[in-house]
Structure formats: structure tokens, C-alpha cells
Structure 1
Amino acid sequence: MSAGLLIVTAVPAEAEAVRAGLTITTVTVAPVGVGPAAAAAGTARLLALAEAGGNPYQAVISAGIGGGFPDRAALGTIVLATRSIAADLGAESPDGFLPLDELGFGPSTTSADPALLERLRQALPRATVGAVITCSTVTGTTESARALAARYPDAVAEAMEGYGVATAAAQAGVPFAELRTISNPVGPRDRGAWRITEAFDALRCAAAALH
């Protein structure tokens, strides 16, 4: 898994946690920005530069902390995405939210590469496995959290970059996966309930298992 692996995070603190856990030196870790647009652009640039240099990456993982849906992913745990979903890319309608697929503008979901996901599952057997939604606006109310949970019953976590990274990887023909550690519950923004330190510790542990 390690040879030719690119791990992208949103912010430097996440990249530092991943680097702190890694015991191998053949992995590139880089922060590419917050949100799906920055993540897609930054990842695409790194993939293109590596290919142009004659040493293309063999796989890319979107990694970092995120929110866990209550009763689906506990605080401080590790999550592996079966698929990354652009949860707010679409249109409103009188009948509810219409995802990109239903509008006929392309997929709003990218599945993790099966082989890469299986290797991650073997390395992290205690991880929760399920869909991870990508939102440009983080969920902040009980109503929004319930609506997302109902719309995506297989979703276990929420973040802001996975779908962007997945899009860049797909266009480059590079296997993709998403790994999150849970810092807060999806729903009302209660900073007192966040467990950032535990999430970073879990991120370091997850990185240490990659080899």
C-alpha cells in the first residue's frame, strides 16, 4: 500500500498527525485546502505533477477528522468510506433535494476502490465502514442531521473534502479511498462535545497501521 501512495488532508494539523503516525517514508502527505473545490484542485495538481515527473502515484487517500452520525460512528473512532457522496451538490425542489444524478448532470457518488478499501480494512479491522458524505457547509442543526441521515442511510460520517479528492483521482485514473477519524457528532455545533485531541490521536494510530 505504501509505495506510490498520496495522502491528502484539508489542513496542516491533519497532515502533521498523519506524518507523526507513519513508520514508512515512501508515502507523500500533503494538505490541499478545506472544501471539495480546494481538495479537488490541490489533489489534481499533485497527481499531474507526479505523472509529469515520471513517478505517478499509485493510489490516493483523503484523510482527516470529521463528524460522525450519532449511533453510527462514535467519537474518537476510525471510519473508512465505502463511497464518498456530494451531499449538497444538486437542486432544491418542492419534493425535496434532487442530487446531481437525478438532474442528469453526472454522478454525485464515487465509490472507494475495492482493492484499496479491502487493504485498509485489513490494516484497520476495528474501523467503522460506510458512506462518508461531503458537504460544503457542515451540518449544524438537528433537523439537517436527521434529513441527511434519512437520505443516506448508509452514511456514517461527514467531512468536506472526500468527493473532491475522489473526483480528481477518478479523472487521473488513480485508485481512491477516504479515511476519517471522528471528532464530533453530526448535528448542532456544540464545541463542548467535540473531541479534537482524540480524533487526532486516532488519525496518528490509523497512519501507523499503514504499511
Structure 2
Amino acid sequence: MVLQAREGFLITSSPARVLVATAVPVERDAVAGAFASPAAEVRLPGVTLHRTGAYDLLAAGVGPALAAASTATALTAAALDGTPYDLVVSAGIAGGFAPDAPVGSLVVADDIVAADLGAETGDGFLPVTELGFGTVSHRPPESLVRELVAATGAPAGTVLTVSTVTGSAVRAAELRARHPRALAEAMEGFGVAEAAAAHGTPVMEVRAVSNPVGPRDRAAWRIGDALTALTEGFGKLAPVLESWESA
């Protein structure tokens, strides 16, 4: 329960309703590990939510398209039920851009960017916005970003959404050159953000780093460490998310 003092009165309000969308069940379960109460399954057409307190946890699928479709399903069902979400969070593990986001660290997005939505030309890559349509960026609420950074000590920066995970030093350098504030890349954030935007719901993205962005070296991946960081991170984030109110 959130307590607020206004004009001499103490007002109580319910915790914010939060939808957390991960790609796969193991990420969803890592988030669930931050909460004491067990999650109950809520089956909807096409998706299954794991509900714990004010949180609905959704394994939305891999890639921006499926993540957007699954998130939109959950958002629509909540709206039709008269219990819309106050906030959507895209969460999971990710590749981190060295040295700013080392393996095992947590990052908070202050910009969620579709990094490969556009066209290749003889002069380089053009984002879809420069072709005259669409959008490639969603900005989470600045006040909430500041609060999450303060709660976790994680850096804030750009989190890229890609449809093809980076597997070479050349592409990693190209992405960093186009997005100098990039901290991490993953595959779902922009899709989740598009669905949230369609419903007028604020969106965040939080990622735990499992590997460096660049040449694929599975021996260097630390997925277990990243999942642990995700659980610990949500333990610190949860009170902030529950008490946050949209302006």
C-alpha cells in the first residue's frame, strides 16, 4: 500500500499495476525470484501470465514482433477487464557494450531504440524515420529512470533492440558509432515499447548483461550470473515501480 500526504490528509492508494515482459520463461522466473509470494497462472487467449501481487509476469517470446504481439494481448485483456496496467517493463538478459556494461551488471534504458529498423544504402544505414515514416525510439519516463538508477546503482543509457544479434567486432563498432550511448543490445524492448505506446502506457527496459556485444564466444557467456543479477535487481526495483505514479 502506498501512503501519500496531501494538504494535511493521509491518502492511501494501491500499488501500481506492472506488466513485466521477458523473452523466455527462465528470465520470467528470474524476475519472479525477487518476490516472496508464489506466482499464480492466469491464462489468456494466446498468452499466460504469472501473477504475483501487483505484478503480471509474461514470457512474451523472442524478437520484437512476437514480444509486441504478446504484450499487446496482455495490455488489451487488462483494459477490457477494467484493470489497465500503470507501467510496462521489458526485462531480461542482454549483451553489454564494453567497458560500460560488463558481464553481470544491470543497465536501465533511458532510450529504447530499434537499431536495425531501416534500410542499408551505399552511404550506410538509414533508420526508418529518415525514410519518412515510423519511429525508432521510445523514451521511458525521466523521473522513473532516475529513481531506478538511484535504487540499483545501475547506469542509464540506450538499450538497442535488434532482430539479428551482433556476432562480430565490426558490427559492434558500427552500432556503437551510430549509438554512442548504447549500453546493451537485446531483441524485445522496442516491440514491448510499441505495444505499450499503442495503449498510452509508460514503458521501461531493464537488462542484466550475460555477454559482451561482439564476436560470439559461448564459453564467455555468464547466463547464470546475469539471471542472478536480474533477480537481485528486481528486488531493489520493485518498491520503486510499485510506488511510482505517472504525472
Listed one character per residue, the Cα deviations across residues 105-125 of structure 1 (whole Å, up to 9, x for unaligned) are 12211111223323322321x
8 Å Cα contact 2:64/2:188 also seen in 1: yes
Deviates further, 106-115 or 74-83: 106-115
CA distance in 1: counterparts of 2:204 and 2:140, whole angstroms: 5
Which 5+ residue runs of structure 1 have no aligned equivalent? none
Listed one character per residue, the Cα deviations across residues 141-195 of structure 1 (whole Å, up to 9, x for unaligned) are 1100010011100101000000001111111000100000000000011001111
Shift of 1:22: 2.3
> Which amino acid in 2 is paired with 1:164?
G
1:97 is paired with a residue whose SS is: strand
Which one of 31, 40, 48 corresponds to residue 18 of structure 1? 31
Which one of 184, 188, 193 corresponds to residue 157 of structure 1? 184
Q: Determine whether 1:31 maps to 2:59.
A: yes
Q: Determine whether 1:110 maps to 2:138.
A: yes
8 Å Cα contact 2:149/2:155 also seen in 1: no
8 Å Cα contact 1:77/1:128 also seen in 2: no
- The structure whose RCO (Cα within 8 Å, separation 6+) is larger is 1
Shift of 1:3: 2.3
Equivalence for 2:194: 167
CA distance in 1: counterparts of 2:150 and 2:155, whole angstroms: 12
CA distance in 1: counterparts of 2:210 and 2:229, whole angstroms: 10
8 Å Cα contact 1:68/1:75 also seen in 2: yes
8 Å Cα contact 1:61/1:177 also seen in 2: yes
8 Å Cα contact 1:75/1:185 also seen in 2: yes
Listed one character per residue, the Cα deviations across residues 11-34 of structure 1 (whole Å, up to 9, x for unaligned) are 000000000112472211111100
1:139 is paired with a residue whose SS is: coil
Looking at secondary structure, tell me which structure has more strand per residue.
2
CA distance in 2: counterparts of 1:32 and 1:10, whole angstroms: 5
Q: How many residues align?
A: 210
Q: Determine whether 1:69 maps to 2:83.
A: no
8 Å Cα contact 1:116/1:176 also seen in 2: no
CA distance in 1: counterparts of 2:156 and 2:145, whole angstroms: 9
Which one of 201, 205, 209 corresponds to residue 228 of structure 2? 201
> Which amino acid in 1 is paired with 2:203?
F
CA distance in 2: counterparts of 1:46 and 1:200, whole angstroms: 24
8 Å Cα contact 1:85/1:134 also seen in 2: yes
Q: TM-score, normalised by structure 1?
A: 0.96
Which 5+ residue runs of structure 2 have no aligned equivalent? 3-14, 37-51, 240-247
> Which amino acid in 2 is paired with 1:79?
V
CA distance in 2: counterparts of 1:91 and 1:26, whole angstroms: 41
1:67 is paired with a residue whose SS is: strand
Q: TM-score, normalised by structure 2?
A: 0.83
Equivalence for 2:86: 58
What RMSD in Å do the two structures reach over aligned CA positions?
Answer: 1.2
> Which amino acid in 2 is paired with 1:116?
L
Displacement over 4 Å in runs of 4+: none
> Which amino acid in 1 is paired with 2:77?
L
Whose Rg is larger? 2
Q: Percent identity?
A: 49
CA distance in 1: counterparts of 2:208 and 2:139, whole angstroms: 19
Equivalence for 1:4: 17
Listed one character per residue, the Cα deviations across residues 75-128 of structure 1 (whole Å, up to 9, x for unaligned) are 00000001111101000100000001111112211111223323322321x102
Shift of 1:52: 0.3
Equivalence for 1:101: 129
Matches within 5 A, 1:43-54: 43-54=71-82
